[in-house]
Amino acid sequence: MESFHLVSREYKPEDTVVTVGEVKIGGGHRAYIAGPCSVEDEKQIREIAEGIKGAAHILRGGAFKPRTSPYSFQGLGEAGLRLLKEAGQQVGLPVVTEVVSEQEVELVAGYVDMLQIGARNMQNYALLKKVGAQSKPVLLKRGLAATIEEFLLSAEYILAAGNSQVVLCERGIRTFSGSPTRNTLDLSAVPILRHLTHLPVIVDPSHGTGLWNLVEPLSKAALAAGAHGLMIEVHNHPQEALSDGPQSLKPEKFRMLAGELNALAQFLDEQSAGGKAWKV
């Protein structure tokens, strides 16, 4: 592999813990990020925020959406940021949203607790340098065709620019087997990344599969593979969502899933504590 440096276990052996608001991710801390693909209106984001309260740790919602077509819904922009922030305050959750333009980094950082770099921009180095030069933590999604090395080198851009609060997110890669899933969730990336880097690693099974009924088994699998958390799309009316409805859970399903994930995580932690002796 090419020379990533600041992100490597060699440079920093112990796990990095990233702090978003008062939420910790990494090391012994797991977190669930939940919310809609897009902030659509005040009622929608507030209902969803209420629906995930107590089960999720961070509220997500897109205000600036990178869409394949220029004619698709592009998000509410700054109005969406404001609604997201207010919904987060209302339920006491920090918020994360995607930033898609160098020129909007400051604007977005003014409203949210964590900045997301989407898969399409994983190698938008100008944008990586910008989010590296500000102080909010960054959620970096793996590009659709990015190798592990390229993923880590993109994180390296952010650390090299001064920001070491970076969470990595596996979200499915593009393979031949598109159908019936949108992408192929690469869970082997989780233990590989955890071996190579000290940064926290989470998984997005919603984008990784594109089908809501795969979210439960693959969320559990992600935790079993060693993920520090999950990013799950939740919508109060998935059938009417302006984007990504088919891969969204309803709030009540998300809460039940979170309960099961908490129990599984505890089981895995106990097993891991007991089994440490024989592991590498």
Contact with its own copies (CB under 8 A) among 84, 214, 230, 232:
214
Could you say whether residue 180 binds its own copies (CB under 8 A)? yes
Secondary structure class of 136 (helix, strand, coil): coil
- Among residues 12, 237, 279, 4, which one has the least CA distance to residue 140? 4
Give me 120's structure tokens: 């399409």
Residue 244 φ/ψ region, left for φ over 0, alpha for ψ in the -120 to 50 degree band, beta for the rest: left
Q: Which is nearer to its own copies, 90 or 101 (CB)?
A: 101
Identify residues 145-164 at the interface with its own copies (CB under 8 A): 145, 147-150, 153, 156-157, 160-161
Distance between CA 270 and CA 277 in Å, rounded? 13
Other CB atoms within 10 Å distance of the CB of residue 59: 31
Q: Which is nearer to its own copies, 73 or 90 (CB)?
A: 73
Identify residues 62-121 at the interface with its own copies (CB under 8 A): 66-71, 100-104, 120-121
Q: Which stretch binds its own copies (CB under 8 A): 31-39, 55-63, 76-84, 140-148?
A: 140-148
Q: Which is nearer to its own copies, 19 or 181 (CB)?
A: 181
Identify residues 238-277 at the interface with its own copies (CB under 8 A): 252-253, 256, 260, 263-264, 267-268, 271, 275
Give me 18's structure tokens: 């990233």
CB of 90 closer than 8 Å to CB of 84 = no
Identify residues 16-55 at the interface with its own copies (CB under 8 A): none
Contact with its own copies (CB under 8 A) among 11, 42, 133, 188:
188
* Residues touching its own copies, count (CB under 8 A): 79
Contact with its own copies (CB under 8 A) among 186, 237, 245, 265:
186
Q: Which residue is it, tokens 């070491």? A: 164
Strands 23-25 and 18-20: antiparallel
